[in-house]
């Protein structure tokens, strides 16, 4: 009888141990399914981030994640060999994962050879969604079956435990020592099972936290990618700073701050815009020495809970307060400083490791380049439309603007006057004083003309010493009065050149008015020019309108 109880006890312990081993195996399969999905998500997130930003760190992360997916799917296949149904699903999951990695590899290769835009255009969202749907469906099915197996194996383990306890109770009559030994064995195995269960639950919690962090980072990367696309379409500085402020608040909820731009004097930064309700106040203007970020050319962070910090003097005294964080980001392009972005937010919103700092740093880099490109476009546009010597518009701009203004005045039934102006005896002045003095004279005449016209008038250098002014909505009498003011201003002005006072000179002006003197730009220019030469023939230094006899 004692031998039978001993044999039965040994058999019960063995069955319980085997049952617990299967329970552990089930937990391993469930955990491996989570590892496979996490590895695939990591590869997808890294590939998408690299495709959207082109950052080399994401490229390295993506390349490193590919073998991790292969190892995870192979390990899952090894664990499910004992179950034909799960083994088939594991192979399906592995094949789908490889297909998805192949699609990611195709887009990666396309990006490496043809650039970011080509890879973005080639992205097949539908295919990606279908592959993800198949991966999630297969993973869910495998997880559901493993949970069913886990419940059944736990029930079986419980039955084995109950049977073993009954045998032990019966054996107590024969041997108290055998009972104690069996109870210790059962207790040990149960503790191990509970420990395994706790480990599995802890791993599941950690995985949830990791997935939440991945989802948050993916959302932030999406916002940064959206910002990059919209930034390229901004045409004004106001649009750029508005978009940037909105994006900062999306990346860091509750954030506030200011945008500073380096002024032409190269000596101070002036605030051009702010966003959010200021948690930390900053001055409207600052010198480079007032900010540690501008001094060092690197981001500078201040955390309210830290006592020993280098505080920027452009912030209010005593800031940042506990619970808040301040971040100054220098804006630069081509190695030259062009401004500063100051961001302040609660410490909780900024407390995500280095991820938020890195995202804001990338935003600041793109912002600096966008502002520099906008300034360059404005400079090139001004150079293409302005005469560099006089600062007036050039002939190309005159031809475009005269046709446009003439059509507008014609539609509204309003007059338009064209003035042709020419400096009298300019060649003689040039021959007497030299070309440099002639250039100085033309610059002075250009300033006198610009000062004598209205804001809506278009003053241009037509060529040489000849100028043209388009005066929309001004009739003949008004144009003659304006022209007379310009002629008198030029007549009394002198030019300072190489320490000498040159001049004054005189100017002849011819005027033609739409619609009486012409209905096309060519006709008005011809009539004004002919009238100009008539004014010169009548003695120069005078204003003549086409209608004057």
Percent share of the chain, pLDDT over 70: 93
ω into residue 382 within 30 of 0, thus cis? no
Checking if the pLDDT of 174 tops 60, the result is yes
- Compute the average pLDDT of residues 369-393: 83
Q: Which residues pair with 325 in a beta bridge?
A: 303, 345
Q: Which residues contact 22 (CB under 8 A, 6 or more apart)?
A: 149, 153
Q: Which fold has domain 245-383?
A: Beta-Lactamase (3.30.450)
Checking if the pLDDT of 489 tops 90, the result is yes
Work out the mean pLDDT of the chain and round it to a whole number: 85
Torsion sign (Cα): 493, 497, 500, 502: negative
Checking if the pLDDT of 318 tops 80, the result is no
Of 330, 319, 339, residue with least CA distance to 279? 319
Checking if the pLDDT of 419 tops 80, the result is yes
Q: What is the pLDDT of residue 304?
A: 65
Alpha carbon of residue 118 to chain centroid: 19
**DSSP assignment string, 356-369:** HHHHHHHHHHHHHH
- Compute the average pLDDT of residues 334-348: 83
Checking if the pLDDT of 530 tops 90, the result is yes
Q: What is the pLDDT of residue 438?
A: 92
Q: What is the pLDDT of residue 317?
A: 66
Burial bucket for residue 492 (CB in 10 Å: 0-12, 13-18, 19+): exposed
**DSSP assignment string, 456-494:** T-EEEEEETTEEEEEEET--HHHHHHHHHHHHHHHHH--
Checking if the pLDDT of 320 tops 80, the result is no
- Compute the average pLDDT of residues 422-430: 93
Which of 133-147, 160-174, 343-357, 419-433 is the least confident region? 343-357
- Compute the average pLDDT of residues 330-349: 84
pLDDT tens readout for residues 231-273: 888 888 888 888 888 888 888 888 888 888 887 655 788 888 8
Q: Which among 143-157, 371-385, 392-406 has the top mean pLDDT?
A: 392-406
Of 26, 20, 27, residue with least CA distance to 204? 27
Tell me if residue 300 falls in helix, strand or coil: strand
pLDDT tens readout for residues 209-241: 666 666 667 777 788 888 888 888 888 888 888
Q: What is the pLDDT of residue 42?
A: 87
94: confidence class by pLDDT, cuts 50, 70, 90: confident
133: confidence class by pLDDT, cuts 50, 70, 90: confident
What is each CA distance from 34 to 130, 135, 210, 229, in whole angstroms?
A: 19, 11, 11, 34
423: confidence class by pLDDT, cuts 50, 70, 90: very high
CATH classification code of 395-545: 3.30.70.270
- Compute the average pLDDT of residues 182-190: 86
53: confidence class by pLDDT, cuts 50, 70, 90: confident
319: confidence class by pLDDT, cuts 50, 70, 90: low
What is the residue extent of each domain of the chain?
A: 2-229, 245-383, 395-545
Catalytic residue numbers?
465
Tell me if residue 285 falls in helix, strand or coil: strand
pLDDT tens readout for residues 7-46: 766 776 777 788 788 888 888 888 888 888 888 888 888 8
- Compute the average pLDDT of residues 292-318: 76
488: confidence class by pLDDT, cuts 50, 70, 90: very high
Q: What is the pLDDT of residue 162?
A: 82
- Compute the average pLDDT of residues 364-377: 85
């Amino acid at each position: 009888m004692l031998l039978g109880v001993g044999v039965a006890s040994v058999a019960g312990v063995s069955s319980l141990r085997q049952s617990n081993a299967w329970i552990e195996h089930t937990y391993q399969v469930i955990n491996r399914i989570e590892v496979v999905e996490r590895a695939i998500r990591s590869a997808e997130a890294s590939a998408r981030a690299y495709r959207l930003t082109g950052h080399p760190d994401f490229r390295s992360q993506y390349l490193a994640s590919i073998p991790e997916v292969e190892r995870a799917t192979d390990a899952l296949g090894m664990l499910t060999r004992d179950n034909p149904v799960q083994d088939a699903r594991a192979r399906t999951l592995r094949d789908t994962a490889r297909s998805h990695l192949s699609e990611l590899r195709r887009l990666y290769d396309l990006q490496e050879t043809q650039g970011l835009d080509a890879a973005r255009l080639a992205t097949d969202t539908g295919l990606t969604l279908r592959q993800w749907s198949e991966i999630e469906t297969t993973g869910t099915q495998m997880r559901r079956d493993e949970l069913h197996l886990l419940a059944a194996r736990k029930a079986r383990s419980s039955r084995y435990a109950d049977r073993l306890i009954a045998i032990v109770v019966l054996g107590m009559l024969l041997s108290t020592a055998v009972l104690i030994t069996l109870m210790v064995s059962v207790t040990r195995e149960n503790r191990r099972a509970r420990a395994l269960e706790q480990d599995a639950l802890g791993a599941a919690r950690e995985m949830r936290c990791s997935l939440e962090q991945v989802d948050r980072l993916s959302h932030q990367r999406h916002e940064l990618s959206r910002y990059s696309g919209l930034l390229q379409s901004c045409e004004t500085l106001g649009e750029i700073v508005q978009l940037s402020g909105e994006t900062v608040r999306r990346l860091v909820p509750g954030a506030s701050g200011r945008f500073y731009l380096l002024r032409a004097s190269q000596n101070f930064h002036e605030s051009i815009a702010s966003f959010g309700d200021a948690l930390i106040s900053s001055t409207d203007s600052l010198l480079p020495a007032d900010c540690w970020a501008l001094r060092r050319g690197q981001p500078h962070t201040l955390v309210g809970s830290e006592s020993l910090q280098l505080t920027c003097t452009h912030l209010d005294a005593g800031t940042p307060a506990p619970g808040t964080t301040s971040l100054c980001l220098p804006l630069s392009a081509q190695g030259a400083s062009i401004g500063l972005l100051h961001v302040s937010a609660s410490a909780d919103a900024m407390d995500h490791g280095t991820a938020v700092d890195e995202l804001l740093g990338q935003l600041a880099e793109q912002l600096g380049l966008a502002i520099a490109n906008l300034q360059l476009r404005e400079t090139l546009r001004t150079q293409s439309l302005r005469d560099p010597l006089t600062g007036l518009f050039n002939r190309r701009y005159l031809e475009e603007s005269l046709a446009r203004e003439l059509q507008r005045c014609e539609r509204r039934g309003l007059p338009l006057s064209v003035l042709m102006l020419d400096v009298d005896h300019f060649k003689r002045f040039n021959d007497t004083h030299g070309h440099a003095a002639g250039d100085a004279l033309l610059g002075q005449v250009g300033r006198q003309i610009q000062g004598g016209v209205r804001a809506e008038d278009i003053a241009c250098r037509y060529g040489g010493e000849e100028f043209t002014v388009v005066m929309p909505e001004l009739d003949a009498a008004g144009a003659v009065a304006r022209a007379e003011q310009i002629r008198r201003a030029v007549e009394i002005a002198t030019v300072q050149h190489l320490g000498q006072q040159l001049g004054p000179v005189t100017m002849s002006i011819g005027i033609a008015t739409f619609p009486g003197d012409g209905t096309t730009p060519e006709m008005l220019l011809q009539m004004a020019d002919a009238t100009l030469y008539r004014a010169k023939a009548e003695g120069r230094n005078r204003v003549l309108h086409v209608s004057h006899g």
